[in-house]
Structure 1
Amino acid sequence: MHLSHTPALLRSLVAAAVLGVVAVMVQRVDVVVLMVPFVVHLAWGWRSRPHVDLVVESRPKAVVIPEGESVSMVTHATHAWRSALVTLQWPVRPGISLDPDSGTVLDAAVPEGVRVAVQPERWGRYDVGPGTVAVCDPSGSWRASTTTPRVTVTVRPTSSSLEGGSGVAHPIGIVGMHRSRRRGDGSDLAEVREFRPGDRLRRINWRVTSRLGALHVNSTLTERDTDVLIVADTLVDIVPARPEAPTSLDATVRAIAAISRHYGGFGDRVAIHDLGRRIGHVRPGTGPRHARMVLNVLSRANRDVPDWDRLRPVGTVTSGMLVFFCSPLLERESQDELVRLRRLGAEVIGVDTLPEGVGQFGDIRSFRRDTFLGEAWMIRRMERDEALARLRSIGIPVTPWRGTSSLASVLLSMEAARSAPRRVPGR
């Protein structure tokens, strides 16, 4: 660590030299008296010139927290300077708030160090620091400084589960928690029928048997799982006029977190496909480990990636696969991709992630009056509403994302289709 003099020591040196020259030239004692305080300060500063010995420890180096929580950074400074003043200052970064705001004073006599609370505003990955630690001797003549290492704070998005049913009308797996229409080993009662050769004895319904006089057994429905694909449209991040309002990328990330947690609880295989390049792809998986991996991938989503006009289409989909298409649905390419997935046989649900109020009449006031941006957004919003009406007319539900209860009605209606009567061909 480099030791340097302060401007106060330099001013004392210059003032003492100038007053000394003036005192010799004019031969006046009062000028010498004025020079004495500066000479005393120079002597005090030279005598108290310290040896550089400052050790700074800061923890943690990296931390992962859920959205809405804060993290405390502890910094401890050890120095060999007597009666020295040590200060710590953290730079202000966009998206995070510090407590205290600008910095704090460290005291080496405090063994537990000084805590600085870091409060991120939303999900994402933040680099806090490096902080500047400065030490100054009592005379204010010498100073030295060093920096603390950067602290990486990863904020996972809110992962509340969806409200409503599963929305799985046709399970395609073998073992899971979704009730199917096929008879077999399960927990949901389908009917009570007469005993047949091969039926298990543990399924005998003794109450019905004793009442009717013939053996009857319980027939159940099997439980199966399904494949869930979450398509994220991150080609364009729509930012509202208010800087504190959530963007379309915020809505997309929170929707993916809620959907993956919801279907991970059913034991389904969840995968993520990014049409852009802000989030990335996640292979199909299930279980708590896969849920944590999804949250880690979402927390590393890059907001600073420029908009991309090249769409990466979804590869192959299985007939009956449940697809959640999270998109602002402003681009024609995204709308065509949504229709293509539906024609491939997937059960598609459109999740509208366009921020609330964008392109509406009240949003015009947020733009400058000498431009036509407000009017242009209104026209684009009307074109988009017409496209959403066409999607709904061909059987693709599109629901705006406004929290975990946004998809409840759609999921419940799709789940009810499992028990709906079917028409048998030829009758």
Structure 2
Amino acid sequence: MTGRWRPTPALARAVVVGALAVVTSVIGAAPAVMVLGAPFVVLACFGLLHRPDSSPSVRAMLDHRWLHEGQGTTSRLVLDEDDDVEHVARLMAPTPYIALHPPTGLAAGLTHAPPTIEIGPRRWGRRALGEEQVCLTAPWAGYRWGPVRLPGETLRVLPQTRRFDSRADTPRPVGLVGVNRSPRLGAGVEFADIRPFRPGDRLRRISWRVSVRSRELHVTTSPAEEDSGVLLVVDALGDHGSSDGLDGTASSLDQGVRAAAAVAEHHIRTGDRVGLRVVGGDGGLLGYGAGTRHLRCLLDVLAGVRAGELPRGVVDRLQLRVTGGSVVFVFSPMLGQAIVTATASLVQRGLPVVVVDTLPPGVSPMVPDGVDPRLAELAWRMRKLERDQVLAGLAALGCPVIAWRGAGTLDDVLRRLSRRRGVPQVVAR
């Protein structure tokens, strides 16, 4: 961004006062006036002598453009042709969910150490920083360049992945390799059973202690280690409650996005294949994948989630299209009929489905202008009673419904689903 040099009020004041002092002292023969006006004369002379003739330009640059909630970065100024610049000042406008240091957004410094502003995003999403005003000053404060406006930079803030470490196996592992114990025997590392030797068994599997006692060759068996397909479904049909950032209260969408990010990181770290489906808003679909790069893509999709209703035609035929052998985690406050119907259909197909309740406790509805608050409160209570019936109906179908509590939240549920996989079930076709 470029501008032009202008005389400062200080220089104009020094020129006027110095000239008046010189004229008065000469005409009125008053040396004392000259002595009093000497500092202004000196300031005016040095200011005019350092009149700048360069054309500086300035731009802002961020150290990082991709951050997680709670992390921070620094905004730095890059000056070009700054030979005539002595002092730099900048002011950044505050924006929601962005913490600044200094808190006022005002920073100043000399040319050899341009002022920096530390930035800390407090909520996931695409965050636009406020516009800046930058002002440059020549030596002796004689001339000022600007202030000029710099457009706000854009940050991509990924949801925070609080450490989630489940010790339970993921139900229905179907892949070729992973860390989950399969119901089938294979080349694993954990002990399963001891049986008589059969042609084709590996010699390293022979249990010599049992073979010597029984006088027949016996081998040890192990369960195969396989990976699972995990589908994360995030309900973005609405955002209930208020969001105050990372350190404050969380809305239902905050709970869902952060919980989905934590579960995704855990399963990808253990070698499972994870997919994502966003229901509502702008939507979002990410196929199954594994590895650090896939996790980054998944967090990027979660950072772009926006709350919004589905078109009427889409609501009536909403289908999650889950393949067999997958485990489905639904992160939803269960207040939309479309997501409830889609979840119930998956449970009736016999798929392992876990509903993570993301509705914050004690949430109250937003009361529009002109609406009686008592009437709005009564409607909200009735809606919550309907929601309780929906959750009870899902539980009756065999779908566990739990509230997100961080690490260890899904352990007991996954163990029960793992035990259920060996029980014969009636599946609706």
Smaller-chain TM-score bracket: 0.7 to 0.9
- Answer yes or no: is 1:258 the counterpart of 2:258: no
| Alpha-carbon distance change, 62 to 221 in structure 1, aligned in 2, over 3 angstroms | closer
Deviation at 1:237, TM superposition (A): 1.4
Counterpart position of 1:205: 207
Q: Which amino acid aligns with 1:262?
A: H
- Answer yes or no: is 1:293 the counterpart of 2:297: yes
The CA distance in 1 between the partners of 2:204 and 2:47, in whole Å, is 94
Contact 1:317 1:344 in 2 (8 A): no
The CA distance in 2 between the partners of 1:204 and 1:392, in whole Å, is 46
| Alpha-carbon distance change, 334 to 15 in structure 1, aligned in 2, over 3 angstroms | farther
Question: Which 10-residue stretch deviates more, 278-287 or 309-318?
Answer: 309-318
- Answer yes or no: is 1:376 the counterpart of 2:379: yes
For 1:119-138, list aligned pairs within 5 A. Answer: 119-137=120-138
Deviation at 1:249, TM superposition (A): 1.5
Q: Which amino acid aligns with 2:249?
A: A
Q: Which amino acid aligns with 1:277?
A: G
Q: Which amino acid aligns with 1:133?
A: V
Contact 2:236 2:308 in 1 (8 A): no
Contact 2:232 2:328 in 1 (8 A): yes
Secondary structure of the corresponding residue to residue 68 of structure 1: coil
The CA distance in 1 between the partners of 2:387 and 2:144, in whole Å, is 62
Match of 2:388 among 380, 385, 388: 385
Give the TM-score of the pair, scaled to structure 2. Answer: 0.80
Structure 2 alignment gaps of length 5 or more: 21-27
Secondary structure of the corresponding residue to residue 391 of structure 2: helix
Secondary structure of the corresponding residue to residue 211 of structure 2: helix
Deviation at 1:421, TM superposition (A): 7.3
RMSD: 3.9
Match of 1:216 among 205, 209, 218: 218
Secondary structure of the corresponding residue to residue 321 of structure 2: coil
For 1:113-192, list aligned pairs within 5 A. Answer: 113-137=114-138, 142-145=143-146, 146-148=148-150, 150-166=152-168, 168-192=170-194
Secondary structure of the corresponding residue to residue 388 of structure 1: helix
The CA distance in 2 between the partners of 1:375 and 1:121, in whole Å, is 34
Counterpart position of 2:238: 236
Match of 2:92 among 90, 93, 117: 90
Counterpart position of 1:396: 399
Deviation at 1:273, TM superposition (A): 0.9
Q: Which amino acid aligns with 1:283?
A: G
| Alpha-carbon distance change, 240 to 213 in structure 1, aligned in 2, over 3 angstroms | same
Match of 2:349 among 329, 344, 351: 344
The CA distance in 1 between the partners of 2:88 and 2:191, in whole Å, is 73
Question: Which 10-residue stretch deviates more, 114-123 or 371-380?
Answer: 371-380
| Alpha-carbon distance change, 331 to 182 in structure 1, aligned in 2, over 3 angstroms | same
Deviation at 1:43, TM superposition (A): 8.7
Counterpart position of 1:274: 278
The aligned length equals: 403
Structure 1 alignment gaps of length 5 or more: 20-27
Deviation at 1:199, TM superposition (A): 2.1
Deviation at 1:279, TM superposition (A): 5.6
Deviation at 1:161, TM superposition (A): 4.5
The CA distance in 2 between the partners of 1:43 and 1:114, in whole Å, is 29
Deviation at 1:297, TM superposition (A): 2.2
Map Cα deviations across residues 224-260 of structure 1 (whole Å, 9 max, x no partner).
2221111111111113387842111211111111111
The CA distance in 2 between the partners of 1:9 and 1:307, in whole Å, is 60
| Alpha-carbon distance change, 108 to 15 in structure 1, aligned in 2, over 3 angstroms | closer
The CA distance in 2 between the partners of 1:309 and 1:404, in whole Å, is 36
Contact 1:9 1:141 in 2 (8 A): yes
Deviation at 1:118, TM superposition (A): 0.7
Give the TM-score of the pair, scaled to structure 1. Answer: 0.80
| Alpha-carbon distance change, 324 to 118 in structure 1, aligned in 2, over 3 angstroms | same
Question: Which 10-residue stretch deviates more, 328-337 or 164-173?
Answer: 164-173
The CA distance in 1 between the partners of 2:71 and 2:109, in whole Å, is 25
Contact 1:319 1:345 in 2 (8 A): no
Question: Which 10-residue stretch deviates more, 329-338 or 270-279?
Answer: 270-279
Contact 1:61 1:149 in 2 (8 A): no
Secondary structure of the corresponding residue to residue 386 of structure 1: helix
The CA distance in 2 between the partners of 1:254 and 1:66, in whole Å, is 11
The CA distance in 1 between the partners of 2:236 and 2:72, in whole Å, is 28
The CA distance in 2 between the partners of 1:338 and 1:332, in whole Å, is 10
The CA distance in 2 between the partners of 1:403 and 1:54, in whole Å, is 52
Secondary structure of the corresponding residue to residue 418 of structure 2: helix
The CA distance in 1 between the partners of 2:206 and 2:47, in whole Å, is 98
- Answer yes or no: is 1:334 the counterpart of 2:346: no
Deviation at 1:197, TM superposition (A): 2.3
Question: Which 10-residue stretch deviates more, 380-389 or 58-67?
Answer: 58-67
Secondary structure of the corresponding residue to residue 322 of structure 2: coil
Question: Which 10-residue stretch deviates more, 212-221 or 167-176?
Answer: 167-176
Secondary structure of the corresponding residue to residue 177 of structure 2: coil
The CA distance in 1 between the partners of 2:46 and 2:189, in whole Å, is 87
